[in-house]
């Protein structure tokens, strides 16, 4: 999952308030999608970054980066995280235009990308209107429906039932408005896709904060005595053995001993 909130936080040091641009999102998407091509990447496309032509440009850029799916929402371009208050929406017609533009760009590219329609309208318009927006988006060609900021399990169950057979996605954000559900609970409600967009960022943030505090207070962060948790673990996770093996098979001799 390429999170817009996480990309804003890590690249701009800013909250998820619509400051991130297509170029920055696309750069991150390209890196993530190329890490392991067998793993499909869902990328946040926010509002599509403008009118129909900008939406089309966004879709084409993500397709070129081998992104598997994108979610496009109905907030105004000056958007905010879906779990904050006072979100503003574009009209239902403008939302459908965004989705239609995305599907047209996908069809024109002749390549496969899953279009996930996200509505942020539950907060201000209520459940019936939000479901209505998702149904219109599906009619315009969206493959998956995403009701953002679900407040209760009952709402989750209803959206899945009323959108069927279109698969629905649920977004779990620690500290957000949606109850934290397990994969099994989400599946029991009828969801087919579940994202935890800021889980990894939260874990990294908490552990970096903890070691930074320790370093500041004690002047030292002790290394693990058993050799795990160090830089070699990270190099190995990044494929150091595979690199050495490739180098040797190609006839190289520089990576025999690392
Ligand atoms: C899904 C989301 O768009 C994202 O940026 O990952 C965010 C997540 C978040 O802010 O925690 C969202 O608006 O829900």
Domain range annotation of the chain: 4-197, 203-249
- pLDDT by residue (tens digit) across 193-222? 999 999 999 999 999 999 999 999 999 987
Helix (H) or strand (E) holding 57: helix 52-64
pLDDT > 80? residue 226 = no
Ligand 1 atom closest to residue 82's alpha carbon, by position in its atom list: 13
For ligand 1, say whether the CB of 198 is within 6 Å of any of its atoms.
yes
- Mean pLDDT, residues 112-126: 97
Helix (H) or strand (E) holding 195: strand 193-195
What phi, psi does 195 have (nearest 5°)? Answer: -120, 145
- Mean pLDDT, residues 222-239: 79
Instruction: Give the chain's mean pLDDT.
Output: 95
Q: 8 near 204, Cβ under 8 Å?
A: no
Q: What is the ipTM of this complex?
A: 0.96
Quote the CA–CA distance of 42 and 4 in Å, as a whole number: 11
Quote the CA–CA distance of 129 and 91 in Å, as a whole number: 11
- pLDDT by residue (tens digit) across 134-176? 999 999 999 999 999 999 999 999 999 999 999 999 999 999 9
Q: 181 near 170, Cβ under 8 Å?
A: yes
CA-nearest of 102, 120, 104 to 45 is 102
**Correct CATH for 4-197 of 3.40.50.1580, 3.20.20.60, 1.10.3720.10, 3.30.2310.20:** 3.20.20.60
Pocket mutation for ligand 1, best pick of 24, 81, 151, 180 (most atoms within 8 Å of C-beta)? 81
Looking at residue 156, what is its pLDDT?
98
């Amino acid at each position: 999952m390429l999170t817009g909130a996480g990309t804003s936080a890590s690249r701009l040091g800013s909250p998820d308030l619509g400051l991130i641009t297509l170029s920055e999102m696309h750069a991150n998407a390209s890196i993530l999608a190329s890490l392991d091509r067998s793993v499909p990447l869902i990328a946040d496309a926010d509002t599509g970054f403008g009118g129909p032509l900008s939406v089309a440009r966004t879709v084409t850029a993500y397709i070129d980066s081998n992104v598997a799916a994108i979610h496009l929402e109905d907030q105004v371009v000056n958007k905010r995280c879906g779990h904050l208050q006072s979100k503003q929406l574009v009209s239902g017609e403008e939302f459908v235009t965004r989705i239609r533009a995305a599907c047209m760009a996908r069809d024109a590219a002749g390549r496969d990308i899953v279009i996930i329609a996200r509505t942020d309208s539950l907060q201000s318009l209520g459940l019936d209107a939000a479901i209505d927006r998702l149904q219109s988006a599906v009619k315009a060609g969206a493959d998956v429906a995403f009701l953002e900021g679900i407040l209760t399990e009952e709402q989750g169950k209803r959206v899945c039932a009323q959108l069927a057979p279109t698969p629905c996605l649920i977004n779990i954000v620690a500290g957000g408005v949606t109850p934290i559900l397990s994969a099994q609970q989400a599946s029991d409600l009828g969801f087919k896709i579940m994202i935890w967009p800021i889980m990894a960022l939260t874990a990294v943030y908490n552990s970096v904060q903890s070691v930074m505090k320790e370093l500041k207070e004690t002047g030292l962060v002790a290394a693990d005595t058993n050799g795990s948790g160090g830089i070699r673990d990270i190099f190995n996770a990044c494929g150091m053995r595979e690199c050495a093996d490739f180098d040797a098979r190609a006839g190289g001799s520089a990576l025999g001993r690392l």
